[in-house]
Copies of this chain bind each other. A is one copy, B any other.
Amino acid sequence: MEPAETTIGEYLIHRLYQLRVQHAFGIPGDYVLGFYKQLDESRIKIINTCDEQGAGFAATAYARVRGLGAVCVTYGVGGLKVVNTTAQAYAEETAVVVISGAPGVREQAGNPLLHHKVKEFDTQLKVFQQLTVAQTVLDNPATACREINRVLGAALCYRRPVYIELPRDMVTVKIVPQEEPLQPPDVDREPFREASREAVDMINAATQPVIVAGVELLRYGMHHHLQELVEKTNIPVTSTLLGKSAMGERHPGYIGLYEGGLSREDIRQYVESSDCIVLLGVLLTDLDLGIFTAHLDQGKSIHATSEKTSIRHHTYPGVYLNGFLLGLLQADIRRRETCETPHAPAPTPFHPAPDTRITVERLFQRLETFFDDSTFVIADTGDALFAAADISIPRAAEFMSSAYYASLGFAVPASLGVQLALPTLRPLVLVGDGAFQMTGMEVATAARYHLNPIIIVLNNSGYGTERPMLDGSFNDVYPWRYARLPELLGAGRGFDVQTEEQLEVALEAARGYRDGFCILDVRLDPYDFSPALRRMTSVLGKKVK
């Protein structure tokens, strides 16, 4: 279907679009203007954010939903502003394509001091070599197609960011397109069969097996297969914080979140006393292991990841999650009787007490019943995340956070990526005031593109997570009147929330107003924390002092 001749820039766009990238996030600059013109004339829509940081986070969220996302920036002053967002994508396994313009190949001759240059012309490339799984500079028309395919293939295979640098005099250079498969070639099936046989025997012999669902199920879009496995075998399933919503959390097989010693006690006991723990796509991070308070006996564990599978104390290199899980689905695992397992307490009906100041705990009690099937929850780092951990997400893959890299300021720009990728859903953004001040002005981008997130600012006048660890005025955040943002932007609706009744009124109004963003400034006591955060910081705080 593709033309006999195309240009380097158009081929890149064509390939991205084939891979479901219909939006590219970024800010133009002179070294990337030619490529922006091509994008503008293509089927990919450009989404201009306020700052490149916002574009990087938005592209990351988009990539988590669509499998691939793109951020498109200029050289130096653009590229080096998405270093942190690319680092997050690397750490949390998200396939973001960073496309950076650059001075033309001919301009670079003689190594002149061109604007936006840091040290050498390859300085930016060297920075991204630390943060991406594949990189290329498209400076050669003869290899450009192959390079684009190699790099995009790596992004999809490893679900990690990649870097493509496009010198501006190469954008419209004509090439003959070559379509090559992006996926890696087939692997040896025998190790998979052996691992599967061993795992099945171990699972079938167990009296109390449990599945721990991890983030890679979400990243590789395998959560449907997880549900299939759970329904086929009736084995109870828990999830890590980073893997939250890999399983729909109102599914009868779901027992709740496992976070080591920070878990609800019945869940902790159930998981840690299991004689067969099947970890699927779990990253063994400090936050997922309850700051290493988890006690998971490796001698009773099966652990499949995107790179390898371990059973007890031995490893099958190259037996990766997707193939292993599909193998389990086809294997003869016996179906269990429904047994007594932990389950989430039924949501408490929320009756707003008059003239009662709102607390974190009551806010999340209310939110628990506010969600519906068209809500996508995005939690920023901090108590927004820890408090959200305990609420039930109705459908799989409709929750997002940065629960390992933990970069503040992810949630508001992420809501742009989520809603553009899933236009039938409405994002509910949970964000602290400190995080909001970093990137929250991207609500302007929501206004620009007619998106309608509901943004709940957990306004506790500071970096609340840090106060219980070590406090000082450096943990204070200057007060903004967040509910006034609609006046600044000429769009959206703002609500001041100090009491339970005001929360009720604001949430109902936000549900009813669909023409733009809504922002709720929820004023919390600076020392009011969720029960989950209190547990977390008492462990973290010991490491600070």
Contacts and interface: CB of A to CB of B under 8 A. Distances in A.
Contacts of A39: 474
Contacts of A80: 83-84, 87
Interface in A241-284: 283-284
B113 A284 contact: yes
A123 B129 CA distance: 10
Contacts of A447: 478
B127 A544 contact: no
B130 A469 contact: no
B487 A544 contact: no
B104 A91 contact: no
B28 A292 contact: no
- Range for the number of chain A residues in contact with chain B: 35 or more
B77 A474 contact: no
Given A51-B439, A113-B283, A487 B489 contact: no
Contacts of A126: 130
Given A30-B540, A76-B405, A80-B84, 14 more contacts: A33-B470, A36-B472, A37-B470, A51-B53, A51-B437, A51-B438, A76-B84, A77-B407, A80-B87, A83-B84, A104-B543, A119-B131, A479-B490, A481-B487
Nearest to A115: B406
B466 A33 contact: yes
Interface in A51-67: 51-53
A404 B115 contact: yes
Nearest to A484: B488
Contacts of A83: 80-81, 83-84, 127
A409 interface: yes
A472 B40 contact: yes
Interface string A27-58: 11110011011011000001010111100000
A495 to B, nearest CB: 15
A424 interface: no
Contacts of A117: 91, 405
Nearest to A440: B441
Contact of A127 (B130, B287, B473): B130
A324 interface: no
B91 A87 contact: no
A328 interface: no
A285 interface: yes
Interface of A: 27-30, 33-34, 36-37, 39-40, 46, 48, 50-53, 76-77, 80-81, 83-84, 87-88, 90-91, 104, 107, 112-119, 123, 126-127, 130-131, 168, 283-287, 292, 404-409, 434, 437-439, 441, 444-445, 447-448, 463, 465-466, 469-470, 472-481, 484-485, 487-490, 540, 543-545
A285 B405 contact: no
Contact of A285 (B77, B84, B114): B114
B544 A30 contact: yes
B474 A480 contact: no
A29, A80, A540 pick with most chain B CB within 10 angstroms: A80
30 contacts: A27-B434, A28-B474, A30-B543, A34-B544, A36-B470, A36-B474, A50-B437, A50-B478, A51-B437, A51-B438, A51-B439, A52-B438, A53-B81, A77-B405, A80-B83, A80-B84, A81-B83, A113-B404, A114-B285, A119-B131, A123-B131, A168-B543, A168-B544, A478-B489, A480-B489, A481-B488, A481-B489, A481-B490, A487-B487, A487-B488
Contacts of A479: 490
Contact of A115 (B131, B284, B287): B287
A201 B83 CA distance: 51
Contacts of A407: 76-77
Contacts of A130: 118-119, 123, 126-127
A127 B284 CA distance: 25
A24 B51 CA distance: 24
A543 B101 CA distance: 13
A447 B52 CA distance: 25
A477 B51 CA distance: 11
What 10 A-B pairs have minimum CB-CB distances, sorted nearest first? A80-B84, A113-B285, A50-B437, A448-B478, A51-B438, A77-B407, A83-B83, A87-B118, A33-B470, A81-B84
Contact of A114 (B40, B286, B544): B286
Contacts of A485: 488
Contacts of A114: 285-286
A115 B474 contact: no
Contact of A444 (B287, B470, B478): B478
Contacts of A283: 113
Contacts of A478: 48, 50, 444-445, 447-448, 489
